[in-house]
Structure 1
Amino acid sequence: MSTWHDARRCWTEADELDVEIIVREARPVEGLTRLERVLVARGLTERRVPGAEIARIVGVAPRTVWRWRSEGFRQAA
């Protein structure tokens, strides 16, 4: 990850409890950090939720979810 990304809160902070609740309930939530969106997408992917539905839940374009999947969710590692 670049220095620019390291300095941004949205890439380095996530509330694990919020992520767990969103994955469990599979409902849209606003105000997620970038890292939280990726973590939720990864959790929903593990539950075999379709990409378009994940995109709706985390508030991104379906193409973004497909890109995250193809990258293996590296941002959240």
Structure 2
Amino acid sequence: MSRASSPARSGAAEELENDDIDIEQLITLMHRRPLLWDKFNPKYHDRILKARLWEEIYQDIYFSWEQCSVVEKKTKR
């Protein structure tokens, strides 16, 4: 399993502090949402829908995403 990491950020939720992301999981989650990568998808340019899909991915990767502050979320995006 591949993992990428970056320096921890203070004040983030427990798993956000570690900042490790399972790259394989991220790829799988993105693959399930072709709107994010398929330029031929009619809704590819829908920024609102893309933001919603990214929010779903964040929730799947960071289990306490909903409890994070706006500032903490911005540092992860």
Please give the range of the TM-score, normalised by the shorter of the 2 chains: 0.3 to 0.5
Higher helix share: 1
TM (normalized to structure 2)? 0.34
Alignment TM-score, normalising by the size of structure 1: 0.34
Structure that is richer in strand per residue: 2
Which structure would you say has the larger Rg?
2
